[in-house]
Amino acid sequence: MNESIRLIEGLEAGRDHIASLRAGVEPPVTPAMRARLRQLFGREISPREAVAQIVADVRCRGDAALRQYTRLIDGADLDMLTADANAIEAAYQATHVQLKEALHLASDRIRAFHEREPGGSWLEWDDEGGALGQLVRPLQRVGVYVPGGRAAYPSSLLMTVIPAQVAGVEEIVVTTPPGPGGLPAPSILAAARVVGLEQVFLLGGAQAVAALAYGTESVPRVDKIVGAGGLFVTLAKKQVYGDVGIDGLHGPTETLLIADRTANATLAAADLLAQAEHDPLATALLVTPSQLLAKNVQSEVNRQLPLLDRADIIAEALQGQGAIIVVADLDEALTLSNEYAPEHLCLLVADPWPLVGRVHNAGGVFVGQQVSEALGDYVIGPSHVMPTGGTARFASPLHVREFLKVTSIFAPGDATTKRLAPAAEAIARAEGLTAHAGAVAAHAAQGLPTGHSRPSIGSIGSVGSIG
């Protein structure tokens, strides 16, 4: 019998497997993708080159280029580049009541979670009449990319727009790919209605990212682009970074389960299958010290897989990236997980909380067998936009502070200026910057009065709704 997911024995063999998963920054170009690019561009062209051409065209020709690439890539011939408030309202009214209630529940929980995040401006006065502080303010305009294509993701709209709203972002520009009929899935528009959006731009792929980064006749230029997408979205975000901020480069999704002998094999298999359902490039891993559990989960995967709607996609993902890795103990399991730095880490062990503090690298930790990662995709509360590709070593899930910027406040009193000046002059001269040293000395010699009152930070500026 052919196993649906490989079984790997030992820490070093497990390391070899996860190293192979991290070997390439970008997935290989399949023959089908190569043929599609040749069809679209009329010549042999790499994904990176194709994205560069799309970005340049949109930057140069604006809406005309957007319509061209939307017609070529998405098969939609658009008169208007947006779904307006009427279309959003119509989609919401046509949505089944159960889904509407679910979207509102998810929205409420996501908002409540992100409103708990710390943040805010501060200003501290000292005894010498000076002050230091930070003005923490929301970005003015943010672009949110909501993926489409293989499936519709209303949850992604909620998970990206709501933290920006909590941060106090003044204008949120949402884009999502249109379907052949010109509109996205109704569920995405319904989600837009739940969070109070009055328009959604009907743009996908690299052309959407380029429009957000540089602006067109119809699409306003934004300060930052957030949200996950496919290869072409990721490449475009990489190319426009610097001209615009980005939240990160999101690759295919990934989950790693750590399980001991007490874990339920049926549930563990279900979690692996759910993760692999996203995409043929998704990664689903189980690491366990129990040989018996490993065999049982492997059997459960074989049993459950044929019963699922997206069995072909799941099978491709499991054969390509999935694995059950048997290690000596939970210490080795944690070592392997921290080296891999998964987007999602699930602790299916008898006593999970002692392990939580030993997790150094993960986008999110799902504690105990009562919770599935899939539940977190929708309604638990934290944003499901998380770091992938090992970037959890240094990156964070999407959160309110992603939409805030900090301005430092320098307001030392005269006595402080005089006291600090000699040290500043010494460092400036060591760097060969004698004009810096001269400016410091001149200001210190003047003995100018501070000349200002002591305002509170609230009278200067605030963070917005999280205060």
Catalytic positions are 343-344
Sign for the pseudo-dihedral over CA of 350, 356, 358, 363: positive
DSSP code, position 447: T
Instruction: Judge contact between 225 and 143, C-beta under 8 A.
Output: yes
For residue 145, the one-letter residue type is: Y
d(CA 398, CA 64): 33
Asked if residues 115 and 211 have their Cβ atoms less than 8 Å apart, the reply is: no
89 Rama sector, left if φ>0, alpha if ψ -120 to 50, beta otherwise: alpha
Please tell me the distance from the alpha carbon of residue 295 to that of residue 328, in angstroms, as a whole number: 15
H-helix or E-strand containing 225? Answer: strand 224-226
SS3 368: coil
Q: Token digits for 23?
A: 């070997």
Helices (H), ranges, 115-204: 154-167, 186-194
Which pair of tokens denotes residue 149?
């294509």
Q: Tell me the CA distances in angstroms from 271 to 40, 69, 262, 276, 295, one per residue in order.
A: 38, 37, 16, 9, 16
